[in-house]
Amino acid sequence: MGSRVAQVLVSSRPISWINTAFPFAAAYLLTAGTVDVTFVVGTLFFLVPYNLLMYGVNDVFDYESDLRNPRKGGAEGALLDPSLHRTVVWAGIATAAPCLVVMLWSAGAGHPWSWFVLAVSLFAVFAYSVPGLRFKERPVLDSITSSFHFVSPAIYGLAVAGAVATPQLAALLTAFFCWGMASHAFGAVQDVVPDREAGIASIATAFGARATVRVALALWALAGLLMLATEWPGPLGAVLAVPYLVVVWPFRSIDDAHSGEANRGWRHFIALNYAVGFLVTMLLIWWAAVRA
């Protein structure tokens, strides 16, 4: 039983939990200025159940292709035994349902847009992987959908807290969206060979490894430029795009045959996210202090 529970948890990518919980928590707290039921339950939802639904469902429907992928079976994705597929799906639904009930109840009728954002967010989670939709196999749409997986928790936090739309806020969210697209695109490069062997399309299989890396670099650069249009001290966040450019730059000319070598850069990217996340937190604290 312990082994089965561990496999279910691994399928939710614990190393990436913070990437969805933090955007919601930061957006809600800085907008509402309070720690309440919505904040606590929403953070818990985007920490575990959301990731279990997103990654767990993906692992279930990608089982055949994951068998050919040497990096699956650990922190970068579980290689789920078929006997656990139904368990993972139901675990995601069972843990998400109570949170969603509380989130919808606590939002009340005052923030109807938050209901819409949450519905679209959940649709994107399933549409990425489930047969019949499989957005992950539609080049470019795959990167757009993946980015939305991380940006939508922030948008939901802003919507349920009643944030006021401004050009600066739009620039911030667009920068985050570009970061998400770049991250997915670069992540797809390392899987070009196994994806093609499995007959799976992606932005990287469509454009090729070299072009996809360069698209990712351009998107990270654009994200940095967009931060210059945000409210102070947001423009300082433009500098945070530089480490990603430095880490990925060596792979700018990688060919399809050697695309698997991009995994070295991807591992650095995962570690880099924690360091950059710390600096983003410091900027948010500074921004909150300036507003106070």
Q: Who wins on pLDDT, 219 or 267?
A: 219
Q: What percent of the chain has pLDDT over 70?
A: 89
Q: What is the mean pLDDT of residues 42-56?
A: 93
Note the pLDDT tens digit of each residue in 235-276: 999 999 999 999 999 999 999 999 999 999 988 888 898 889
CB 202 within 8 A of CB 139: yes
The C-alpha atoms of residue 281 and residue 50 are separated, in whole angstroms, by 22
Tokens representing 215 are 């698209």
Q: Which residue blocks in the chain are alpha helix, DSSP H?
A: 2-10, 17-32, 37-47, 49-51, 57-61, 63-66, 85-107, 112-127, 141-160, 167-189, 192-197, 203-207, 209-227, 242-248, 262-291
Q: What is the mean pLDDT of residues 31-38?
A: 91
Least confident of 41-50, 151-160, 188-197: 188-197
- pTM (two decimals): 0.90
| pLDDT at residue 283, rounded to an integer | 87
